[in-house]
Amino acid sequence: MGQIVAAMAMTHSPGLTGWFDRAPMPQQLLAKKALDEMRWRLEAAKPDVILGFSNDHLLNWPINNVPEFTVGIGEEHVGPADWYDEWLAMETKYHIPGDAKLARYIVREGARRRIAFAYLRQMQFDDGFSVPMHYLNPYNAIPLVPISMNCTVPPIPLPARSYEVGVTLREMIKAYPDHTRVAVLATGGLSHEPGGPRYFWVDEAFDLWFLELLKRGDHAALLRECTLEKMEAAGSGGTAELLAWIMALAFTQGPAEVLAYMPAIAWRSGTGMVIWNEMA
């Protein structure tokens, strides 16, 4: 049986690796401190695998065929994709072990539970997983099962749908036949509008409001109040990356611990790091 041993969420802005030093020094220090704290807590949980939720930035699938969710089922994950080498300032490729057995179980069992998970044996990686792995899994020691979702090409899943998929995944992990310690990691957000008219903008008020909702720990209230429309108003095509956080929320109960928040315009994203201390 699978056991959820950690749940956390963080921004995956390419600026966190690509142009980290463009942000004001206090933001750099705060981000580093929070990311170190996340890594220590992740390592302390001794997971056998990271179950990662992020979004594909039109890299793996052409725009005429964008699945709602995709699982990377490879034995190994290699990244970043060439296009992102310079963008992310990653001079060498990382090689992270996968957990093909668990990943294929998720695809098969998801179908039985009426969720169509597409899959890739060789998923390509942009900032969504590359940036968090750089900071949280720097020695590639913890295997990764990546699940990407579509939050950029309409129709975008609603928060309730994302939470529902998270709940189903939680039940699937708990029903997994092997004893496996699973750490859940969501990446994306907070407010930003990549490539849109407000490309430079960060909606600090939305971000603080969203983080307060997480701190309250009331999932029903969050799902009721944090609509897709509100996310889009805070930054279209980017803020909805928080749907990955809402998937992770389904693995938790109680309040989230907000490690840091920065309205990091230099990194083109409201930037935050969050940990949940109580698993559902």
Of 171, 155, 175, 152, the C-alpha closest to 163 is: 171
Under 8 Å between Cβ of 51 and 184: yes
Min dist CB 230 to another protein, Å, is: 11
Among 114, 139, 141, 154, binds another protein (CB under 8 A): 154
Burial 187-201, CB ≥16 within 10 A → b, else e: bbbbbbbbeeeeeeb
CA-based torsion, 69, 239, 50, 123: positive or negative: positive
Among 1, 40, 95, 196, binds another protein (CB under 8 A): 196
- Considering only residues 235 through 254, tell me which ones interact with another protein, judged by CB under 8 A: 236-237
Of 148, 1, 18, the C-alpha closest to 77 is: 148
Min dist CB 80 to another protein, Å, is: 12
Min dist CB 250 to another protein, Å, is: 25
- Rounded to the nearest 10 degrees, the angle between the axes of helix 159-174 and helix 100-112 is 120
Q: How many of the chain's residues bind another protein (CB under 8 A)?
A: 52
Contacting range for another protein; rule: CB under 8 A; set: 36-44, 81-89, 176-184, 215-223: 81-89
| Interface mask toward another protein for 103-142; x: CB under 8 A | ----------------------------------------
- What are the strands, taking DSSP E only, across 15-108? 49-55, 69-72, 76-79, 94-97
Is 193 a binding residue for another protein by CB under 8 A? The answer is: yes
Is 233 a binding residue for another protein by CB under 8 A? The answer is: yes
Of 183, 108, 97, 110, the C-alpha closest to 144 is: 97
Alpha-carbon distance 8 to 185, whole Å?
5
> How many residues make up the chain in this entry?
280
Min dist CB 161 to another protein, Å, is: 17
Residue 273 amino acid letter: M
Min dist CB 201 to another protein, Å, is: 4
Among 54, 150, 152, 180, binds another protein (CB under 8 A): 152
Is 68 a binding residue for another protein by CB under 8 A? The answer is: no
Is 262 a binding residue for another protein by CB under 8 A? The answer is: yes
Is 202 a binding residue for another protein by CB under 8 A? The answer is: yes
Min dist CB 128 to another protein, Å, is: 12
Q: Which two tokens stand for residue 89?
A: 């300032």
Of 230, 207, 224, 113, the C-alpha closest to 160 is: 224
Q: Which is nearer to another protein, 152 or 180 (CB)?
A: 152
Alpha-carbon distance 262 to 251, whole Å?
25
Is 153 a binding residue for another protein by CB under 8 A? The answer is: yes
Q: Which residue has the tokens 């409201």?
A: 270
Q: For the chain, percent helix, then strand, then coil, each to nearest 5? A: 40, 25, 40
Is 22 a binding residue for another protein by CB under 8 A? The answer is: yes
Q: Which is nearer to another protein, 40 or 200 (CB)?
A: 200
Q: Which residues bind another protein (CB under 8 A)?
A: 14-15, 18-19, 22-27, 30-31, 57-59, 62-64, 66, 81-83, 86-87, 152-154, 156, 193-202, 204, 229, 232-233, 236-237, 260-266, 268
